[in-house]
Chains A and B, each alone.
Chain A
Amino acid sequence: MKKGIESLIAYLLIITQCSCGPKKPVDSSNGMIPREKTLYVTGLEWKHDNNFNPLVPDGDFGSDYNCQLIYECLLVYDQLKGKPVPSLAASYTLSDNAITVTIDTRARWHDGTPVTPEDVKYTFELDKIYPTTRAGTWKYLDRVEITSDSTLDFHLNRKNRNPLMVLDALTSVPILPHAVWEKVEREYWVDSLGKADFMKLMNYKNNSDIIGSGPYTLYYFDNSKVVLRRVDTYWGKGKYGTLPAPEFIAHVLFSNSDQVALAMKQGKIDISCPFIPVLGTAEAGPIRGWSLKPPYNIPGCIPTLFMPANTEPFNNVAFRRALAHAVDFAKIGSIAFANQSPTMQPGIIIPFGPESRYFSKKDAEAFGCRYDIEKARSILKQNGFTWNEKGMLLDPAGKQIDKMYAECPSGWTDWENMIKIAIEGFRGLGLDVSERFTDYASWDQKCRTGNGFDFILRTATSLQSPATPWLRFKQLLSSENIHDGEDAYENFGRYHNTEADSLLSLIPAITDSSETIRLYRQLNRLFMLEVPSIPVVYRPAVFYQFTEKHWTNFPTEDNPYAPPQMLFIGGGIPGLFHIRPVKEAS
């Protein structure tokens, strides 16, 4: 028996030895990262492809725009303030034709060289040359001009003036060191193209000796985790007065939110962003969110039920309004979303935080659709709909409405429950509706093509940015990018309304805040009257959950020194400088 166990151990030794992936040399840490100096995080990545190239659509942890730890943007968006705040920039000003950015003269790359306007111009122009996912920024930009040793002008495209989207780019384009990336470009240069081979450039993994400007750099990676190590010469020490508290940040992979919740309860993970349904209950143990009271986090986006607005019976506004009256929003918020959403208000303006200035309660009462099955049935009746002897809904021509399906990706349990609750209401109107939970790619394909769905649940932009809420309105109402036979990446119901398009083109260029409020309210009224889609619940832009077993002083509702943006995203970064190890704090 002993021999057997020894053989088993020997076998395991061999197989585990073989399994070592790529990694950095291990230093004095004795093969481990010290727990008391490491902040463990999960949920920002679902695979570690170990590509830290910020030009790829979804770079690995720490390298993409979402996590400004290795590279930094000029500005970051602060969800609490509702506006961008400086990061690499010291300040910015907006004029009629340009956004002028002054770079913080203290900003340095990890090799000690200063971050210059040339670096910024070079980075933005990469997106002009190559089809990166940020290339569309140039739809709104005319040119980037260096005006001094520390300033640049981002000249707006006069034909498509949209400072909101340019500001969005300033908060989402990580600035790269010109000297380093020009060499990379040269390595893959193709003379006949006059530029680098784009795919080779994308396949450049950028996983050793990274030169960024952020507070961390890559320390270790394999296919199950990525570890970043603090840069002790980080230029921001002068700005923040200190270095970030964790010496290491480790992003670890899990398969689902149950595993994440377990790992957090075990004290293995300090901060996470997947939806944890038990948050706020005894089952959550030490896990808490921004607030101790429901909805525990600040609403930031709106999962919405899209309908094919141009096909019968959805092309009938009365039918759409009746559907909106049939959805029990309170039940969705409390049951499907585990009390993590306040009850929906009509329209698509989030009536909390900085965005609340655009919300009109009076309009919501006058034009919005609230849960009221009797009213829904009455609207249908008034508009020629009838019911047969079995109680099934007949359209104005007397034909029974075909069977319908409501869809979302399978395994997204909160969304599946939202669909089930919405369907209960639709069935109450006499519709034959069933749920259909499909795989992610199939669901996404239906959204894009606009074919093969009756109801499909999706969140129009979940990002909080300087373009919020304009971007949400655009993604729900704009027909600018909707063309027959072509994929659509927004407005999945393919709703068309010239008034909405016109308002959407006006808002970004308006500088008078009262006028902006007026136009947003006008758009929201239009949305409430037309109901091109049904917003069902508020959810945070990023779920923010943490435990204080190893680290304390996280930003919270009672201690709001930084927004609940995961300490890595946008304006959340200051959190890294203020958290403290529990041992030290005690």
Chain B
Amino acid sequence: MIALPGMYRHFLKRAGWYAATFIVAVSLVFLLPRLGPVSYTDILKANMTFGPMTAEQREELISAYMKEHDLDKPLWIQFRSYALRILKGDLGKSLNFNAKPCAAMIGEKIPWTLGLIIPAVALAWIIGNLLGALAAFRRGIFDKGIYRTSVFIGSVPFFCFGLLLMYLFYSLFPVVDSLGGYSPDIIDKGWNSRFLPSVLSHYWVPFLSIFLVLIGGQAAGMRSTTIYELESDSMKYAETLGIRRSKVFFYCLRNALLPQLSGLAITIGTMVGGSLITEIIFAYPGLGTLLFDSIKSRDYPLIQAVSLVVTVATLCLCFAVEIISAFVDPRIKASFENDGGAYASN
């Protein structure tokens, strides 16, 4: 009971840091797209190359667009409107998609991205860590096989692996009948016997392209952490006490998993952007391609909205992992208690 105030204080402090990070991120996603040499006005002008418009007509059309989206106002007023909109939960309207609400566009895309990433990252994390820990614990040929394969697969960039799988399963052995999230002849995207099998048949190759690469990275990382743990005094002490190897393995796994757990949140956050290449290769209808297209077209509200969603998700996940780690890892708990000037009552 005495330990809680110290921990709460720490969490409050961390929440403050996350809030500050959020504010900085929000400001950066507003500013960065506007700092480049090319602006949305240039995109508008690029779309008006065709058609016999006079200079005055072009200016009138551009002015109308700029006014409609408040882009004719000074930057600080635009920022104020943007910040106020965020507070109200309004993500704005897309410039490039004829004022379509950004929230609706993200709502259409995010399930595909999360559906691709979360199972891939979660399964890769579980299996990769188990394989890495086993490799470190059993050593020998098992270790060499797993370690080398993991380093090899983990080092292959997503796009290379994606292209390889695409060649294998779409061209050489054409077991998947089309690119995209589902067959193009489907127009009823609901709970029905045509759409769902189609989604699954289009899902597994992009899934594998992420899953296999991540598994390699996780296994290689976990192997190193486990070896470090096995070399620690506590594990050696446990072994000298004659504790069963399986029990030692369990303790070792628990300790080694903690840094991996911290990495999990960041992996999920970064994978939203990282899945971009996978989505492009497989024409998968996710958030990554939406972000890519919005950057290309300098669609400020959409860039801001997608970045904001990714940022908030990453920060929330990181914060959640910090909280979980604090409860799971007695060492972290102890450090909070020391910070807070209190000691465990036992």
Q: Which residues of A contact B (CB under 8 A)?
A: 8-9, 11-13, 15-21, 23, 26, 29-35, 38, 40, 47, 49-51, 53, 56-58, 131-137, 139-140, 165, 168-169, 198-199, 202-203, 205, 220, 222-225, 227, 250, 252-256, 259, 262-263, 266, 268, 439-442, 444-445, 448, 461, 463, 481, 483, 486-487, 489
Contacts and interface: CB of A to CB of B under 8 A. Distances in A.
Nearest to B62: A131
B54 A31 contact: no
Contacts of A266: 170, 174, 177-178
Interface stretch (B77-85, B188-196, B261-269): B188-196
B112 interface: yes
Nearest to B99: A203
A269 to B, nearest CB: 8
B188 A26 contact: yes
A198 B47 contact: no
Interface stretch (B179-187, B225-233, B240-248): B179-187
A485 to B, nearest CB: 12
Measured as residues with beta carbon below 8 angstroms from the partner, the interface class of chain B is 35 or more
Contact of A259 (B179, B185, B190): B179
Interface string B288-311: 010001001110000000000000
Contact of B98 (A13, A26, A205, A256): A205
Contacts of B280: 255-256
B189 A20 contact: yes
A58 B47 contact: yes
A135 to B, nearest CB: 5
A461 B293 CA distance: 25
B164 interface: no
Contact of A254 (B51, B64, B179, B293): B179
Contacts of B203: 12
- The 7 A-B residue pairs whose C-beta atoms are closest, nearest first, are A31-B188, A136-B52, A133-B51, A15-B111, A444-B46, A131-B60, A15-B115
A256 B293 CA distance: 13
Nearest to B114: A15
Contacts of B49: 444, 489
Contacts of B105: 223
Nearest to A60: B98
A131 B178 contact: no
B96 interface: yes
A16 B187 contact: no
B98 A227 contact: no
Interface stretch (B36-44, B133-141, B338-346): B36-44
Interface string B24-49: 00000000000001100011011111
B75 interface: no
Contact of B187 (A29, A47, A440, A442): A29
B195 A26 contact: no
A441 B115 contact: no
Contacts of B184: 40, 224-225, 250, 252, 268
B319 interface: no
A16 B195 contact: yes
Given A49-B100, A202-B98, A224-B285, A38 B185 contact: yes
A440 B46 contact: yes
Contact of A441 (B48, B68, B174, B298): B298
A35 B183 CA distance: 11
Q: Most chain-B CB neighbours within 10 Å: which of A220, A227, A259?
A: A259
Given A19-B189, A262-B171, A445-B38, A12 B115 contact: yes
B98 A51 contact: yes
B277 to A, nearest CB: 11
B199 A220 contact: no
Contacts of A134: 51-53
Given A20-B190, A165-B52, A224-B181, A262 B170 contact: yes
A11 B187 contact: no
A137 B50 CA distance: 12
A448 B45 contact: yes
A463 B182 CA distance: 34
A494 to B, nearest CB: 15
B298 to A, nearest CB: 6
Q: Most chain-B CB neighbours within 10 Å: which of A9, A13, A165?
A: A13
Contacts of A198: 64
B185 A16 contact: no
Given A23-B187, A203-B99, A16 B45 contact: no
Contacts of A168: 52
Contact of A268 (B43, B107, B177, B200): B177
B98 A56 contact: yes
B108 interface: yes
Contacts of B236: none
Contact of B119 (A11, A53, A224): A11
B326 interface: no
Q: Most chain-A CB neighbours within 10 Å: which of B48, B189, B285?
A: B189
B188 A19 contact: no
Contacts of B293: 47
6 contacts: A15-B115, A19-B108, A220-B187, A259-B179, A442-B42, A483-B55
Given A11-B119, A49-B96, A136-B53, A21 B108 contact: yes
A16 B107 CA distance: 11
A50 B101 CA distance: 13
Contact of B61 (A47, A131, A140): A131
B18 interface: no
